[in-house]
Chain A
């Protein structure tokens, strides 16, 4: 660098008028005014970046990235009855999406049937209602499971829903080895952020390792966990917390599987990740790149994985729901487009783009089509996918990537000091970090240190929301409850009772639960019945009420 020119620039910057604004990232971190060569004086291309598809994978996990295959366009969808969602799946596939993603309602997520007293008012409202294999059969009616890949967003009762999926496939004549997809199955982030837990941590981890063990042998194409940062970020964490806490969770699952005696190179290639794509464009891109590098190094150096595929961090991304506004909802289309761009520049394998109306309702057909078109325009009109990791070598972005990695390592040290992820959860470490970050963000908004267009700046006076909103029919609950009644009349109740007893025994005796749950599923035991059986053995988790 020319020292004189640099000094002159610094002096002019010091003298220049600055706007009355805070130059911080979405996470509250100060932003470098400009990237300069001195930031990368220790930069080593081969050590820090390497080539796509090779250690440390900073630039991407495949040699030719999007020229070989575009990211999967996978819109999270689900509402009402299985029939309603089946129709939405077909609509999305007809409009060019390339993978399915299932959103279940709160009762299903919490392991309760549609006729459970707690389910009143909640059936089919936040996702599709699935209480039994019968619902799952309807959900995938006319959808060949050997021709699609499906992601299922389900955690505490994940083993049950995966069993349902395998059972539906079996009825279609599709064997388990052909099944492609992902099950979220990430319980640690539930204790930390989303709070859709049922059982305590130890039995929950046992169930997850059962699923990893089973799938490694019987469903080799299936991603056994989607280790998630999305929800941690939505709960209000910073980008760095999202990165560090997600990876820490991932390492905790790996350690649990290793403790069971599983071979890391057998299961690691089917672990996958799920990140948020939030507002701060460059912070997000740096986060994705840092994630790949950190993971590759740990898998190789700490866990001794030998296969390249074990070192690769593959991820799905969802644009940040928490950044959308109810005010001037059309603006959300723009937010989502920028966030999608960041995800693609970050090298995501799969992407969900939010709909503009999601601050008020589940997506309408019109809104979800625009969200899908956002991805298609990005893929086919911007030229961005034609080249790999174009921001590599940027002083600013590489410096930010390095900072992310350093910050994550510091968090790993803190978590180790607390005894690991589960002890840290029990001590409320993650929850407090996230709550503090969330509060900080809100205070910035209240004080107008952070603008949200349409909300605390550039507001419409007397705004009227004039977009069509999806309504969930109150008939949904009635229909699902009736279906359950019919199911219990049609099935062999004696067999269900016997199988539930077997399930309880398997839980007590530490057997792998997957085979017996598949049998229960095929006999039309309900989600609630299976979960209640497991509750008898595992108990229920209660979290402390701090804020």
Chain B
């Protein structure tokens, strides 16, 4: 039986606008992922703690408030400290192409700005999983 990809969809920082996070969570679930939704106002530490607790393959953070250059690096840092190099950090929201590039260079996975296709995001995660986890499991 194929193992389902486990994704934590998280809202970081003070922002409460969760339409995107919830739509992504539903779409991922309908695409066959096992989805955990963190709820609002999570700190980077809370997000990584939940990710470890729930043994997820992917952390997907929704950020609309412009604080992404503060939050994503913090999450990466905590993930590194916990040796989570086989967990994908992805996400999306309101981010400029420039910022997305910077964060991807820092070590996040692909990030999805406004107007992104959810179908593409699903394919991206499946590909990542096949290449990294799939390779290990075979």
Q: Mark A224-249, 1 if CB is under 8 A from B, else 0.
A: 00000000001110000000000000
The residues of A that contact B14 with a CB separation of less than 8 Å are 106-107, 109-110, 112, 118-119, 122
Candidates B94, B97, B119; contact of A465 at CB < 8 Å: B97
* A-binding segment of B19-27, B51-59, B75-83, B125-133: B19-27
Closest to A465 in B: B97
CB under 8 Å from chain B, chain A span 424-458: 435, 438-439, 442-443, 446, 452, 454-456
Distance, CA A454 to CA B66, complexed state (A): 23
Q: A107-B14, A465-B97 are in contact. Are A327 and B26 (CB under 8 A)?
A: no
Q: How far is the CB of B1 from chain A (nearest CB, A)?
A: 25
Distance, CA A126 to CA B67, complexed state (A): 10
A125 touching B65, Cβ below 8 Å: yes
For chain A, the bracket of interface size reads 35 or more
B40 touching A446, Cβ below 8 Å: no
The residues of B that contact A469 with a CB separation of less than 8 Å are 96
A126 touching B22, Cβ below 8 Å: no
Quick check: is A262 within 8 A (CB to CB) of the other chain? no
Candidates A125, A234, A438, A455; contact of B22 at CB < 8 Å: A438
Closest to B97 in A: A465
Candidates B18, B21, B35, B119; contact of A446 at CB < 8 Å: B119
Distance, CA A122 to CA B15, complexed state (A): 9
Quick check: is A472 within 8 A (CB to CB) of the other chain? yes
Distance, CA A197 to CA B115, complexed state (A): 28
Quick check: is A195 within 8 A (CB to CB) of the other chain? yes
A-B contact count (CB 8 A): 102
Quick check: is A417 within 8 A (CB to CB) of the other chain? no
The residues of B that contact A353 with a CB separation of less than 8 Å are none
Q: A194-B16, A439-B27, A547-B25 are in contact. Are A121 and B37 (CB under 8 A)?
A: no
Candidates B27, B38, B65, B97; contact of A545 at CB < 8 Å: B38
Quick check: is B138 within 8 A (CB to CB) of the other chain? no
Q: How far is the CB of B71 from chain A (nearest CB, A)?
A: 7
Distance, CA A125 to CA B9, complexed state (A): 23
Distance, CA A353 to CA B55, complexed state (A): 45
Q: Mark B57-73, 1 if CB is under 8 A from A, else 0.
A: 00000000111011100
Closest to B25 in A: A547
Q: How far is the CB of B56 from chain A (nearest CB, A)?
A: 15
The residues of A that contact B21 with a CB separation of less than 8 Å are 547
Closest to A110 in B: B14
B16 touching A456, Cβ below 8 Å: no
Q: How far is the CB of A142 from chain B (nearest CB, A)?
A: 28
Quick check: is A276 within 8 A (CB to CB) of the other chain? no
B37 touching A545, Cβ below 8 Å: yes
The residues of B that contact A120 with a CB separation of less than 8 Å are 67, 70
Q: A107-B14, A360-B94, A360-B96 are in contact. Are A446 and B22 (CB under 8 A)?
A: no
Q: Mark A98-122, 1 if CB is under 8 A from B, else 0.
A: 0000000011011010000011111
Quick check: is A325 within 8 A (CB to CB) of the other chain? yes
Distance, CA A438 to CA B113, complexed state (A): 18
Distance, CA A116 to CA B14, complexed state (A): 11
A126 touching B119, Cβ below 8 Å: no
Candidates A119, A327, A435, A545; contact of B115 at CB < 8 Å: A327
The residues of A that contact B115 with a CB separation of less than 8 Å are 325-327, 359, 452, 454-455
A545 touching B39, Cβ below 8 Å: yes
Closest to B70 in A: A121
Closest to B22 in A: A547
Candidates B15, B18, B25; contact of A106 at CB < 8 Å: B15
Quick check: is A536 within 8 A (CB to CB) of the other chain? no
Q: A439-B26, A469-B96 are in contact. Are A359 and B114 (CB under 8 A)?
A: yes
The residues of B that contact A112 with a CB separation of less than 8 Å are 14
B117 touching A122, Cβ below 8 Å: no
Q: A125-B66, A325-B114, A446-B119 are in contact. Are A543 and B39 (CB under 8 A)?
A: yes
Q: How far is the CB of A474 from chain B (nearest CB, A)?
A: 10
Quick check: is B109 within 8 A (CB to CB) of the other chain? no
Q: A236-B19, A326-B114, A547-B26 are in contact. Are A122 and B65 (CB under 8 A)?
A: yes
Q: How far is the CB of A440 from chain B (nearest CB, A)?
A: 10
The residues of B that contact A194 with a CB separation of less than 8 Å are 16-17
Quick check: is B91 within 8 A (CB to CB) of the other chain? no
A442 touching B23, Cβ below 8 Å: yes
Q: How far is the CB of B86 from chain A (nearest CB, A)?
A: 26
A195 touching B40, Cβ below 8 Å: yes
Q: A110-B14, A195-B17, A360-B96 are in contact. Are A122 and B119 (CB under 8 A)?
A: no
The residues of B that contact A446 with a CB separation of less than 8 Å are 27, 117-119
Quick check: is A519 within 8 A (CB to CB) of the other chain? no
Distance, CA A110 to CA B113, complexed state (A): 25
B16 touching A195, Cβ below 8 Å: yes
Quick check: is A529 within 8 A (CB to CB) of the other chain? no
The residues of A that contact B119 with a CB separation of less than 8 Å are 446
CB under 8 Å from chain A, chain B span 92-115: 94, 96-97, 113-115
The residues of A that contact B18 with a CB separation of less than 8 Å are 195, 235
A456 touching B117, Cβ below 8 Å: yes
A438 touching B94, Cβ below 8 Å: no
CB under 8 Å from chain A, chain B span 1-57: 9, 13-19, 21-23, 25-27, 35, 37-41
6 other contacts beyond A190-B16, A442-B23, A456-B117, with CB at 8 A cut-off? A126-B15, A194-B17, A326-B115, A469-B96, A547-B22, A547-B37
Could you list some 23 contacts between A and B, CB below 8 A?
A109-B14, A110-B14, A118-B13, A118-B41, A121-B70, A122-B66, A125-B66, A125-B67, A126-B66, A194-B16, A194-B17, A195-B17, A197-B16, A234-B19, A235-B18, A322-B19, A325-B115, A438-B19, A438-B23, A442-B23, A446-B27, A446-B118, A456-B117
